[in-house]
Structures are given as C-alpha cells and as structure tokens.
Structure 1
Amino acid sequence: MSAVQDDNASPSRRNDGSADSTPPTSPASSTPPPTAGIQDDARAKNPEDDVPNYIANDRNALEAFLLEKDPTASIWQVVCSWKMAVVYSILFSVTIIGEGYDLALMGNFFSLRQFQSLFGVEPAPGKAREIPALWQSLLQCSALLGQILAIYLAGHSIDRFGYRKTVLAALGSVLVFLLVPFFSTEAVSAAGSDAGLGALLAGELLLGMPWGVFQATTLPYASEVAPVKLRPTLTTFVNMCWIFGQLLATAANRAVTGLQDNVSAFRIPVALQWTWPVPIAVCVFLAPESPWWLVRHGRSDQALKAIRRLNRDKDFPAEGQLRVLELTNAHERDADRGSGDAGDAGDQPARERSNTPPSCSEKKKPSVGRSSHIEEGGDRNESNTQDESCGGYLDCFKATNRRRTEIVVMLNLTQQLCGSCLMYYSAKLYQKGGIEPERAFDYTLIQYGLGIIAIGFSWPLMRYFGRRRIWISGLSLSVALMSGVGILGFFTGRHPAVPWAIAALLICFTVVYNLSTGPLTYSLVSEMPSTRLKAKTIVIGRCSYLVAGLFNLFLTPKMLEDVPNGWGLGPRAALVFAGLDMLFLSWAWFRLPETKGRSFAEIDVLFKLKTPARKFGSTMVSNQSDPGSAVASGSEPARRPAAKKS
C-alpha cells in the first residue's frame, strides 16, 4: 500500500475529525522533470506527480488517491482488498446473461427444424418450411425497440431511485413477460403460424424492456464500485456475460434438436429463462448502492458505509476515498456550471476558487466520517442537492461532455456494425456456406467457447498494451477477416474446402472481436463520461447501438437468405461490414483516447484541457488543474513536495 508519511505530506486531522485541506508548504522536490516522450509506464511509476489540484490540496483525499494508484500493488492484492466490490459487480453483470441468451436464442431458433415446422411457412410448394425474412427482422427488431423505450426511462430511474431498485424492478418484470413467448404456441394452434409469430413479436417487445434496463445499469454500476486497476476487468466482464448467454442459448438449441415434439423443443429453451431472475434479485437486494450515486444525492454517510462494504480492509482510508468522490463530483458540477475552469488560483482549495456552494456532504455534516443528524430523506434541501448534481440528457451535448458523448456513441456503433451481428446468425451462415445444420450448431458452440477464452486474454492485454492500441489492431484484423469471408462467398459450391475456410475465418473473427472491440467497448464507455452524467451518456450510447441494431438486424436476414426470401448474398454480406470497419478504423485513429491507468478525476481534467486523443496516454496531470499544468511530453510540470511511500 502506498501512503503519504512525511511531516509535510501525511494526512492530518482537525479536532472535528475532518481532513486538513491546507496545502503542503515544504519546498519543491528536486526531482528532475520528466523527459520528452514520457510513456504510460513512466507516468504510472510516479503517481504522486500526476494528481489533479483539487485532490492534491486535500491530504485525506490525496492519501486515498495515491493508494488506489499504487503501482507496486499487484492485481491479486487489489482483488483481495476489493473482493466484495468484485462480487457485487459480477452479480449485477450476470443480468446481461439473460439478454444475451434471449437474443441469441431467437437467432438460433430460425435455424431450428422444430421451430421452422411450428412457426414457418412453405416459400414454394414442396419446399421445406422456413421463417419469412420479414418476420425474422421484426422479431429481432422488436426486442431492440423495447430496449430503446426502456433504456431512456432507465436513465431517469437511476438518477431518482438508484441502481439497485431499478434492477430489482426489471428482474421482476422478466418473470411476468416470459409468459407471453412461452404460450405463443397456443396462438399457433388457434390461428396459424402468423398469430404465433405475432405473439412472439409482442413477447420480444416486452422482454426487450428489462434488457434495456440491464444495459443502462450494469456497466455504470460496475465502473463506479471498481478501483482503477480492476475497472477494465470488471467492466469487460459484461461482454463475457453476453457470450455466456449466447453459448447457453446455442447449447439449449443443440440439446433439443433431436426431440420429435415441436412444442417441447420450443418451450424448453424458453422456460430455462425463469431459473435466474429470483436468485439474482436476492443478491442485488443485498448489494450496496453505488457510492458515487449516494454522493451525488448528498448521502455521504451512506456512501461511506457503502465504501466500507466494498473494501473491508481495516487499513483502507475509506474517509479519504469518500473525499475523492466528493471533490470529483463538486469539480465536475462547477465546470458544468461554467465556473469550474480548472485551477484559477494555484494551491487555493477548489471550493474557494469557484462560486459553487459546498459539496453535498458539507451541506449535510461538518466533516467526513461523522454521523449526520439528518436521516435519509429528512433534509428538505436534499432534492435541491440532487437537482444540482444530476444533469439531463441535453447536458451530455454541452461543453466537454459533447466530445465524451461522441466517443461513447462511436464506440457503440463500432461494436454493433463491425460484423458482430453475424455471430447471432452464425448457424445460418454456416448452413448457407454448405455445412449441415447439426454441425453448424457444433461450430457455433466452439465459436462462443473461444470467445469466452479470448475475453479472458483481453484482460492482461489491456493491462500491458492499453485500450487504444488494442482497439485499432482489432479493427484492422476485422477488416481483413470480413474481407476474406466475403471474397470466399463468391466461391461457395465450387470447392468442398470453401465452407470450412469460411467457418475458420468466422471463428477467427470471433476471437479477434472478443480480444478487442467486444470487451473494450464496455471498458472505454464506462471511462469516457463524467461521473455526474455517466448513466445518461451510457444510455445515449446504447440507444445509438440499438438504433444501429434495428438497421443491422433488418438487413442481415435479407442479405443471408436465398432468393426470393432474401437477397441471396450469403457469406458475401461480410464485405458490407468490412467497409464499415474501415470507416470506424479511420475515426479511432484520430479521435479515440487512451485511458489506461487513469482515474475518473484524471480523465475529467484531460477532457477539460482538450487534450488530443493521441496524447491522452502520454500527458501528465500535475497538481495544477489549469491548462498550463497538464504537461505533455517534454514540458515541465508544476511540482508538489515529494511523498514517501511505505
């Protein structure tokens, strides 16, 4: 653990128990300034030189900030210290398994013989029954429409009720809405396949609503409870949950391929979705609320308790961690008001430099760590504090938040349109390439299994190589793989090895996607927004993802299906995604910043300084928070007295 220990830097206490925010007064360190070309590793070795001013001026916050950024602490030590944060983050993330299961289940149903016999029609006399391409698109798009409707409302619900209550309400709705698709077979018996498909359409629309809530809550909660070193792992675990859901859906479809009863073969995979909401709801009920959310709502006493539940190490400076949250929240709020242009007065405390009122905790209690006499909901001014600290959707497009929102939107569009939708239709694509249906499901299982392994390997990659380099490399490989699949699509039927080559390239694409674009989207999206607008910015990004998905899922069945049911492109449809990947690669080169090892406070300062994307990784944030204090490669930073570490 790193701590500040000398007389000039150690955290001191007033008699009232609060941290002494008087800045250190010892002479500046004689350590020479960083040389030109400083890289991420060099920056990480000197975390005391890379602290925003508003945190450096509060000794209690400074100790907690340096402890969280301690470069000598191993991942295992951090996991042991924050083990409960890991547990609660995983519990929230597994809600995505249900979404991945449902969406992949419907995509695989279109290739299931029993489902086609039950809900399909004959495209021509004497031909096998199949699901019309229009219905395929409508069924997939209805779930996305439900998500778009719910995800907008979820942003408001999170601000008002918190993450826990919002997720609990969504889990309860899953139990009810599953009744609609389960009994859709009764509509087939009563009024034919169109009626059954209509019932499925309504069921997917309703189920899409809790899926949208999970997308809006899981990622920001995971990022807010995780320390800096575990944040990329715990946020990208969301993507692994998607793959788990897709893998389970494919396995469920594969398990019922031999059943003769069409209704049972359809209902068994659907009914499996009733097994997970209740146990997850119990765990979510027992989990703490996000400390960031509690701070934004002026509930610092409860935030302190939540921090102590997330990190039960008796030596952990929980009060200092709370100060970091309060100061960062106040800094962002001041900047959004237009009075928080970072650092006008050197070592002057942040609150004295701005015209904003004291932070939420200071309104409610005299010092951090002291029990407030005001109970939850008992302060009549609490609603005003909430209104001041929580912005609206329009705030995501103002000032520096505009750039943050642009990045979040483009990351989501890349994840949706890079060719990942072909994984939902992989069984269909393998069949169009000439592989037997049963073997197509087997290869889909292999594909998802390799995807899970790839996500696990992405965690050390992010630790050593950073986000930007992996993202650009992954997109470059995706262009090559999608181009290969599309070109081979012109030669299907001419050689027996072509279908196997297409399958191999698609499996390689799955590995590349889950090493780069897939998991990194969740890590980057959780880091780009300001903490005040995190939930709403993520909602905007996921809405763009879902809107692109409507376009994507409407066209993909048309491209894959044979004429006259579709356009007959088959594997050649991959060329469309290869072209889109080229566009996204060009954008990433100029606009995607590197956030490896950065705290939310550092990222906030870098955005306010309008740091170019390609200099995010090499720019140092000194103890001054104005543009003159962020030192890019080769310029001299403002120095603070050296801090000793134990």
Structure 2
Amino acid sequence: MTDPNAPTAERADSLEGKHERSTWIVLRENPWVVLFCLYAQIGALMYGFDSLILSLALSMTGFVETFGSLVNGTYVIAAYWQSLWNAISQIASMLGSMSAGPIQDGFGRRAGFLVAACLSAAGIAILFSASSPGAFLAGKIVNGFATGLISTAGQTYVSEIAPVQLRGIALSGSTFFFNIGALIATSVALPRMSIASDSGYKVLFASGWVWPGVLLLLLPLVAESPYFLVMKNQPDKARRMLGRLGHNPSETPILLKEIIRTHEEERRRMEQAQGASFVECFRGVDWRRTRIILYCYALSPVIGTSFIANAPYFLLQAGMSSSKTGMMTEIGIAFGIASSLITAYAMTVCGRRPLLMFGMGLSTVIYTVMGVAGCFPHWSPALWVVGIFLELMWWVYGPGVGPGLAIAGEVSSVRLRAKSLAIGITFNNFFSAVWGVVMPYLYNSDEANLGGLIGWIFAGLGAIMLVILFFELPETKGRTFEELDEMFAARVPTRKFRAYQSSAGAGAGGCAEGS
C-alpha cells in the first residue's frame, strides 16, 4: 500500500503498472466504469439531438403553420424568431454550464444529472405544448439550460472516474454521442416531413423525453465521484464508491490514497485562497490551464459546425432534391460517427496533440477549397463543391474536436475541474451563439450572400488556431492528474510535455510529432 508521504521512487512504482497496462486490458477490467461513462455521455447525445431538432422542425409544414404567419398566401416564420430561438437557447446553455460548477461542487456530480434531467423534461413539455413563438422560446430556454448543465456535468464526471488509459477515449466520446444524437433526430424527422398536421413535429419533440427519462431511471445506480467525496472530506464513502465503480478491493486503498494525495497537494498550493472560486481559474498556473480549456472548447465553432449544419441549404440550392439532401445529411453524420470512433482509437496510439493539429490542418485545407469554389459564383458546380465538402467536414469533427475535449477534461486541477469545464463550455456556447446569429446573414440571398466565400473565413480561423495550438496545446496522453499537477506547477514548456519525466511516474509514449 502506498503512503501519501512516501518517497518519490515508491510513488513512481505505485503508478508504473497504470502506465504499462494497455487500453484494451483496462477496458476489460473496468466494465462498470465504462457503463457509467456511457451514462454520463447521454448529455452529449441530448446536445446533438437538440442542435438539429429546430432546423428539422423548420422544414415541417405543421410547425411553420403553427408558429408562422401568412405572408402573400404562404406561411412564414419571422427571421427574428428563428434568430431568437437559436441565440437565446445558446445563452441559456451558457447559464446552465456556469451553474454546473456550483451545483456539482456543492451537492455532488450526480446532482448535476438530476437537476438537468428534471429541467430537460420540463423544457420538452413546454416545447410540445407550445402554440405561440413566445411559448416555444420559453421551452428553448429551459431545455437549453438543461443541455448546458448536463454537458458540463457529464465531462466532469467522466474525467474523474475514467482510468488514465480510458480517460481520453471517454472524454472524446462526447463527439461520438453528439453525432448519434444528431443522427437520431434526423432519422425521426425525415419520415415525418410530409405530414402536414402538427403531429409531425410534436412527435419529434416528444421523442426528446427519452433522454431525461433514461437519466432519471438509471441515476440511483450511478456511483458518486470519489474525487468529490474526498473534497467533501468523506473518504469512507469515496472508498465505497471506488468499489461500486468496479475496482479490485486490493487496489481500492491505493487509488483512494492517490486521490487524497492529489487533493492535498492542490489544497496546499492554494491554502491562502478562500475556497475554490471561479476567480482562481484565472490566476497563476490555473490561468494557463483555463486558457488551454478555452482553446479546446473553441475548436467546434472554429471548424464551422454552424456552417456545416447548413450543408442541406447549399445542396438544395445546387438542385438536389429534398429526399436526396436528407440522405446526404445522414451520410454526413455517419461520417462524423465513423470519424469519432477512428479518433478514439488513434488517440491511444498517437496521443491528443498530433491528431488535433492534423484535424485543424485538414479543416483549413477543406475550407480553402470551398473559398476557391466560392470565387466562381456563376460556375454551376461551385454550389455542389460547397455542399459536398461541407458534408465531408463531418470527417474532420473527430480529430478536430475529440482530442480537444479529452485535453480539456484532463488539464484542470481537481479542485477547479467543475468550474474550469463550466467556463470552457460556457465559452463554447457563447461562440456558437454568435455564429448562430451571424451565419444566416452571411449566406442568405437577401443579405451578404457570400456562398462558398464563407470558406475563407473558416480557413483563416483554422490557420490562426493552428498557430495557437502549436504554442499552447500540451500532450496529456497517459498522464495522471498528479503528474499533470506537477508539470503545470513546474511550468513545463508546451512541447516538452510528452518527454517530461515526472517524479510521479514515467512519461507516456506515443507517435512522434514534428513540433
């Protein structure tokens, strides 16, 4: 059994086995951890489902007739309502993300799941029964708050229960479940597009009740995070939770002492601070960690998820039928699912940083091609190039976002993890809200009508992000939280993270990278 104050060599020996065991062995040894991580990712599935549900409903006759007004013999939903529904929902998600930190730190990680599930169920009820744009907006606000809360709660929980070898896969798994949620929404909506009555869109919203229902049904079986219980000075409960997570009884005392030691070392470094506040995330070493988290959560807007979601618009403008456009959309989402699975495996071999640099580089190249196509607006194949390449961008979503989510869940200190991730996801929601409002004005024919020229905007953002990542993004593959604490405290340069030999354990290997 490893003593918290043991010499450095003994501490390294206690972690050596963790570094040497392969991912697949650890996967087989921790079935309960895997199941609990899958449970936590229901939030990402909800977020993916909710991200497409409005755009799908806007294509349904019953929805437009219920919430629109008659203009020149045709029902039209005012543009300002569409912007409000998108923007206010993202702002509500921001507030939900920010509330996740205090809720989780005060009442536990499971409390975040409980509150989010109840709010989501209430929000969906409002959406289902709404008969006016204002009532529908109220439903979007409540459900948006819930999705922001559950997204943050899920990432915090996963980062604390997953073993070192599984942590990257488990955290990046949110991209997989986001795509699954989007695919489910599309699959439910497409067969109902021709239904003119309100039952067409109401079934779409009602299907969203499945996710909070599953969360509430399984919540009594879910173990609380041992890290939270140690922070609350409840080591006996933490030991029992380690057992519920499926850890071998002979390993439980060692794991508990490592958690206690990590917490105590962080507490000693912050002993002059008055508790773990949001302000601490922007001070000293923790500001570097928060900065990295912000970059990681900026990746999704930077690769243009708001632009990718509008691929059907360009395909329809190019002359593709609505049925084939729907099929292309499903194919694009399937690309995203395959990409996230491939990325999860590649991270176990190559690490996070090289994959992220590759994904962002590929995004920049694809958007450059779109930008070139946009320079020839009167060339008929140009719209086809833009639409098809936007669908291909789903392939980029895996390496361009997944590894970043893994790093974001790993780099924050244990004491500030819930708050740091809340800040990151809030920033993501804010960035996405801005693009959600701006995007229609960039491509609508009665506004800027940039078409494929929008590609130059995202190509430029991608190039800037590549430079930032090169200098700021560390490699965290195979590192324990204790090692990462030591490395940040020692102010290890970004590109020396991979080779650094910490006193808590050997550095993790992986694919070589050129930087």
Q: Distance in 2 between matches of 1:518 and 1:112?
A: 31
Q: Distance in 1 between matches of 2:39 and 2:283?
A: 34
Q: Distance in 1 between matches of 2:14 and 2:185?
A: 44
Instruction: Letter of the 2:269 partner, please give it.
Output: A
Larger Rg: 1
Q: Distance in 2 between matches of 1:551 and 1:616?
A: 34
In structure 2, the residue matched to 1:507 is 391
Contact 2:225–2:241 (8 Å) recurs in 1: yes
CA drift at 1:619: 1.4
Q: Distance in 2 between matches of 1:562 and 1:574?
A: 17
In structure 1, the residue matched to 2:104 is 158
Contact 1:111–1:427 (8 Å) recurs in 2: no
Contact 2:61–2:196 (8 Å) recurs in 1: no
Q: Point out where structure 1 has 5 or more consecutive residues left out of the alignment.
A: 1-10, 13-18, 24-52, 186-195, 339-386, 631-646
In structure 1, the residue matched to 2:265 is 331
Relative to its length, the structure with more helix (as a share) is: 2
In structure 1, the residue matched to 2:58 is 110
In structure 2, the residue matched to 1:464 is 349
Q: Distance in 1 between matches of 2:176 and 2:194?
A: 29
In structure 2, the residue matched to 1:395 is 280
Q: How many residues align?
A: 507
Deviations 1:298-322 (A, max 9, x none): 11111111112213435x4110011
In structure 1, the residue matched to 2:150 is 214
Contact 1:111–1:428 (8 Å) recurs in 2: no
How big is the alpha-carbon RMSD for the aligned residues of Structure 1 and Structure 2?
A: 2.3
1:202 and 1:224, CA in 2 relative to 1: closer, same or farther beyond 3 A?
same
1:449 and 1:227, CA in 2 relative to 1: closer, same or farther beyond 3 A?
same
Task: State which of 424, 431, 439 in structure 2 corresponds to 1:548.
Answer: 431
1:276 and 1:21, CA in 2 relative to 1: closer, same or farther beyond 3 A?
closer
CA drift at 1:533: 0.5
CA drift at 1:405: 0.5
CA drift at 1:469: 1.0
Deviations 1:429-471 (A, max 9, x none): 3323443322222111111111001100001211111111111
Give runs of aligned pairs for residues 444-483 of structure 1, distance below 5 A.
Answer: 444-483=329-368
CA drift at 1:423: 2.8
Task: State which of 473, 491, 496 in structure 2 corresponds to 1:610.
Answer: 491
Q: Distance in 2 between matches of 1:203 and 1:252?
A: 20
Q: TM-score, normalised by structure 2?
A: 0.93
1:307 and 1:67, CA in 2 relative to 1: closer, same or farther beyond 3 A?
farther
Of 244-253 and 418-427, the range deviating more from structure 2: 418-427
Q: Distance in 2 between matches of 1:117 and 1:507?
A: 30
Contact 1:419–1:482 (8 Å) recurs in 2: no
Contact 2:374–2:453 (8 Å) recurs in 1: yes
Q: TM-score, normalised by structure 1?
A: 0.75
Deviations 1:231-286 (A, max 9, x none): 0111111111111111111122211112232x112111011112232222121221
CA drift at 1:119: 3.1
Give runs of aligned pairs for residues 194-213 of structure 1, distance below 5 A.
Answer: 196-213=132-149
In structure 2, the residue matched to 1:520 is 403
In structure 2, the residue matched to 1:562 is 445
Deviations 1:512-550 (A, max 9, x none): 222x12212210110110111001000111111111122
Task: State which of 407, 420, 429 in structure 1 corresponds to 2:305.
Answer: 420
User: Does 1:88 find its partner at 2:22?
Assistant: no
CA drift at 1:130: 4.2
Q: Distance in 2 between matches of 1:394 and 1:101?
A: 33
SS, match of residue 103 in structure 1: helix
Q: Point out where structure 2 has 5 or more consecutive residues left out of the alignment.
A: 508-515
* Aligned sequence identity (%): 25
In structure 1, the residue matched to 2:86 is 140
Q: Distance in 2 between matches of 1:536 and 1:448?
A: 31
Task: State which of 170, 175, 186 in structure 2 corresponds to 1:239.
Answer: 175
Of 222-231 and 518-527, the range deviating more from structure 2: 518-527
Contact 1:432–1:570 (8 Å) recurs in 2: no
Q: Distance in 1 between matches of 2:230 and 2:467?
A: 39
Instruction: Letter of the 2:484 partner, please give it.
Output: I
Q: Distance in 2 between matches of 1:450 and 1:137?
A: 28
SS, match of residue 620 in structure 1: coil
CA drift at 1:129: 4.5
Q: Distance in 2 between matches of 1:438 and 1:130?
A: 22
1:164 and 1:623, CA in 2 relative to 1: closer, same or farther beyond 3 A?
closer
1:517 and 1:122, CA in 2 relative to 1: closer, same or farther beyond 3 A?
farther
User: Does 1:319 find its partner at 2:253?
Assistant: yes
In structure 1, the residue matched to 2:230 is 295
SS, match of residue 427 in structure 1: helix
